[in-house]
Amino acid sequence: MTLADRPALPFARPNLLDLAPLYEVLRREAPITPVTTPAGDPAWLATRYAEVRELLGDKRFGRSHPEPERASRISTAAVQDGPTGDYASEATDHARMRRLLTPAFSAKRMRRLSEHVQELVDTYVDAMVADHDRAPDGVVDLHAHLAFPLPVAVICQLLGVPETDGEHFRALSDRMATFSGEDAQVAREEFGRYMAGLAAAKRAEPGEDVISDLVRAQAEDESFGYPEMVRLCVGLLFAGHETTVNRIGLGTLFLLSNPEQWQALVADPEGRVDAVIEEIMRLGAPGDLGLLRYAHSDVEIGGVRIERGDAVILSVNSVNSVNSANRDADVFADAEAFDPDRAERGHVGFGHGPHFCIGASLARTELRAVFATLARRLPDLRPAVGLDELDVRTDHITGGVRSLPVRW
Residue type, 117: V
Q: What is the C-alpha to C-alpha distance for residues 159 and 154, in angstroms, rounded to an integer?
A: 9
What's the pLDDT score for residue 300? Answer: 96
Q: What is the C-alpha to C-alpha distance for residues 243 and 250, in angstroms, rounded to an integer?
A: 10
What are the tens digits of pLDDT across the range 29-75?
Answer: 999 999 999 999 999 999 999 999 999 999 999 999 999 999 999 98
Using alpha carbons only, how large is the chain's radius of gyration in Å?
A: 21
Whether the per-residue pLDDT at 319 is higher than 80: the answer is no
Q: What is the C-alpha to C-alpha distance for residues 210 and 206, in angstroms, rounded to an integer?
A: 10
What's the pLDDT score for residue 320? Answer: 41
Question: What mean pLDDT comes out for the span 151-176?
Answer: 88
Whether the per-residue pLDDT at 136 is higher than 90: the answer is yes
Question: What mean pLDDT comes out for the span 166-175?
Answer: 87
Given this structure, which CATH class describes domain 3-407?
A: mainly alpha
Cβ within 8 Å of residue 370, ≥6 positions away: 121, 146, 147, 150, 248, 251
Query: 317 falls in which pLDDT band (50, 70, 90)?
Result: low
Which carries the bigger pLDDT value, residue 107 or residue 322?
107
CB of 182 closer than 8 Å to CB of 264: no
Q: Which of 167, 3, 161, 181 is nearest to 75 (CA)?
A: 181
What's the pLDDT score for residue 399? Answer: 81
What are the tens digits of pLDDT across the range 227-253?
Answer: 888 778 877 776 667 788 989 999 999
pLDDT, mean over the chain: 89
What's the pLDDT score for residue 166? Answer: 84
Percent of the chain at pLDDT > 70 equals 96
Whether the per-residue pLDDT at 297 is higher than 90: the answer is yes
Burial of 164: CB neighbours in 10 Å, binned 0-12, 13-18, 19+: exposed
Domain boundaries, given as residue ranges, for the chain: 3-407
Query: 177 falls in which pLDDT band (50, 70, 90)?
Result: confident
What's the pLDDT score for residue 321? Answer: 45
Q: What is the C-alpha to C-alpha distance for residues 321 and 285, in angstroms, rounded to an integer?
A: 6
The 3-state DSSP class for residue 193 equals helix
Cis ω before 10 (30° cut-off from 0):
yes
pTM: 0.92
Question: What mean pLDDT comes out for the span 287-297?
Answer: 85
Phi, psi of 17 (to 5 degrees): -95, -20
What's the pLDDT score for residue 318? Answer: 46
